[in-house]
């Protein structure tokens, strides 16, 4: 028995990924003898160009940090300006309270010393009364 394959359906091929072309770095060899006179004659310009580029890139990367720092300084200054006004009011009240408490403490100490003195005087009077009898 002869069997035939169904050829009406086209055979699906797997889709092959296109090859990625990776460019290779091409090294251009220039003789050092040709470059060195140019580099030496333009050394200051090259150095200044590199410095400017480095400074610009550094400032770009530091710009967000500088902005945050400026905001923090402004907030701190606002807090410091708000605190002295509040501190002045509270220190005046606390100074008066402190003065009253110190006066109360000193009154209590004076009363305690007066009581001790009165007790000593009583003891001395008792001794003197006992001697004179």
Please indicate, yes or no, if residue 33 is contained in any of the structural domains: no
pLDDT at 123 over 80: yes
| Domains in the chain, number | 1
Sign (positive/negative) of CA torsion 68, 74, 79, 80? Answer: positive
pLDDT digits (tens, 9 = 90+) for 8-37: 555 555 555 556 666 566 665 656 567 778
Look at residues 63, 64, 66, 85 and name the one whose alpha carbon lies nearest to residue 74.
Answer: 66
Residue 17's φ and ψ, nearest 5 degrees, are -70, 140
pLDDT interval class at 85 (50, 70, 90): low
Please indicate, yes or no, if residue 99 is contained in any of the structural domains: yes
Please indicate, yes or no, if residue 46 is contained in any of the structural domains: yes
Report the predicted TM-score, pTM, of the whole model to 2 decimal places.
Answer: 0.31
Q: Which helix (H) or strand (E) holds 34?
A: helix 32-41
pLDDT in the model for residue 104 = 92
pLDDT at 127 over 80: yes
């Amino acid at each position: 028995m002869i069997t035939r394959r169904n050829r009406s359906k086209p055979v699906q091929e797997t889709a092959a990924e296109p090859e990625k072309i990776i460019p290779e770095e091409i090294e251009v060899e220039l003789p050092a003898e040709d470059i060195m006179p140019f580099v030496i004659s333009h050394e200051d310009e090259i150095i200044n160009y590199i410095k400017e580029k480095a400074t610009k890139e550094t400032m770009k990367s530091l710009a967000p940090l500088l902005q945050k720092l400026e905001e923090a300084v402004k907030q701190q200054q606002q807090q410091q300006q708000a605190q002295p006004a509040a501190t002045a009011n509270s220190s005046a009240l606390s100074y008066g309270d402190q003065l009253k408490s110190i006066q109360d403490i000193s009154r209590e100490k004076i009363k305690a010393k007066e009581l001790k003195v009165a007790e000593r005087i009583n003891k001395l009077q008792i001794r003197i009364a006992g001697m004179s009898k």
